[in-house]
Each structure stands twice: as structure tokens, then as C-alpha cells.
């Protein structure tokens, strides 16, 4: 039986450009899909946050390009904490899945692995 689950993840864009934000967002979403055996149809909603230094594009726009065409998406600015990781895109996705909470794979890529050393792959 499937249940609603939340999947977390984060990555770091290489620069504050639309291309870099798109590439990082797409890579993160595709890794979440693959690691959890999901399709875009399994997603209920996706919340993106971007660090305040990312202003060139909305991460949600890139999600549309990898198949999230009928999934509610929203972006927000992350809290501007001194010393926080720069150019960071975070995601919390709500999905329908048969996986238990402990079976969900949260995805932290590149330098963003430092954000959650306890669950980063």
C-alpha cells in the first residue's frame, strides 16, 4: 500500500546563472527519481528553496523540463544565515510511495553533502 512520504535533497549550483541553476536542479531531481524508484507521476508537490545568492532562475522552471509538468511546484528563498553554503538549491518533495520512511533515499550532491552528513549518500 502506498503512503505519502517526504524526500529531502540539496545541491550546489556552479554559478548564479540560469544554465547552472537548471543543470544542478535537473541532476538533483533525476537522482531522487532514480534512487527511490519513482516516476514524476508519483510526486504530489515539490518545494524548492534557493540560497539568497541564486537570483538568475527559478529551480521549479527546470523541473518542468524533466517531466514535472502537472506537479505543483513552488520556490522560496532560504534564510540568509552567515557562513551558510553558497549557491545552494534545496528540495522537499512529497510523493506517493510503497517505500517505508527508513527506505527513502534522501539525496545530497557535491558540497551539499555537508548539510546532512547523517543521511548524505
**What contacts 24+ positions apart, CB below 8 Å, involve 82-86?**
84/51, 85/12, 85/51, 85/111, 85/112, 85/114, 85/115, 86/12, 86/51, 86/53
Mean pLDDT per 10-residue segment, the chain (121 residues): 96 99 99 98 99 98 97 98 97 98 96 77 58
In the prediction, which pLDDT does 51 show? Answer: 98
Confirm if 75 and 60 have CB atoms less than 8 A apart: yes
pTM of the model: 0.94
CATH number assigned to the domain covering 3-116: 3.30.1330.40
In the prediction, which pLDDT does 11 show? Answer: 98
In the prediction, which pLDDT does 96 show? Answer: 98
Amino acid at each position: 500500500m502506498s503512503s505519502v512520504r517526504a524526500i529531502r535533497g540539496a545541491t550546489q549550483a556552479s554559478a548564479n546563472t540560469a544554465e547552472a541553476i537548471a543543470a544542478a536542479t535537473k541532476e538533483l531531481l533525476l537522482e531522487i527519481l532514480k534512487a527511490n524508484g519513482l516516476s514524476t507521476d508519483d510526486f504530489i508537490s515539490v518545494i524548492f528553496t534557493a540560497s539568497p545568492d541564486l537570483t538568475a532562475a527559478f529551480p521549479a522552471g527546470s523541473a518542468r523540463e524533466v517531466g514535472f509538468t502537472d506537479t505543483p511546484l513552488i520556490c522560496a528563498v532560504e534564510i540568509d544565515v552567515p557562513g551558510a553554503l553558497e549557491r545552494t538549491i534545496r528540495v522537499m518533495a512529497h510523493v506517493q510511495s510503497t517505500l517505508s520512511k527508513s527506505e527513502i533515499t534522501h539525496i545530497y550532491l557535491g558540497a551539499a553533502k555537508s548539510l546532512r552528513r547523517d543521511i548524505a549518500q
